[in-house]
Amino acid sequence: MKLKCDESPSKFAFKFKLHHYTKVQLNLGILARRRRQYDAADSHFERAQAIEPGFCEPTYWKALTALNQGRMQAGMDGLRAGAYTRLLLGPT
């Protein structure tokens, strides 16, 4: 995350904190997924998306979780959506 010329340090700090909270939720979801607690994992991924909607990693992990549960169509749709978000918004 880069500080843009027109951003104040406090605005940058706020954005950094939001990104940190997003990553915490993402990592909690990944850990829940590893324990096969798929509902908990989905909840964490949804929280991460709610905090930072343009962040495509939660979409990817939600898709993998759906695939792990045998929900193939939802998983494939999620992977496509994550790839599209990444192409549209660029690297995060």
Question: For 37-81, how does the pLDDT look when each residue is reduced to its tens digit (9 = 90+)?
Answer: 999 999 999 999 999 888 889 999 999 999 999 999 999 999 888
In a domain, 68, yes or no: yes
pLDDT of amino acid 53: 85
pLDDT of amino acid 43: 96
Lowest mean pLDDT among 17-21, 26-30, 37-41, 57-61: 17-21
What is the C-alpha to C-alpha distance for residues 16 and 31, in angstroms, rounded to an integer? 22
Q: Which domain holds residue 33?
A: 9-89
pLDDT of amino acid 89: 54
In a domain, 18, yes or no: yes
Place of tokens 């990817």: 60
What is the C-alpha to C-alpha distance for residues 39 and 8, in angstroms, rounded to an integer? 39
In a domain, 37, yes or no: yes
In a domain, 24, yes or no: yes
Model confidence band, residue 86 (pLDDT cutoffs 50, 70, 90)? low
Please report, for the domain that includes residue 39, its CATH number: 1.25.40.10
In a domain, 20, yes or no: yes
| Tokens found for residue 64 | 């993998």
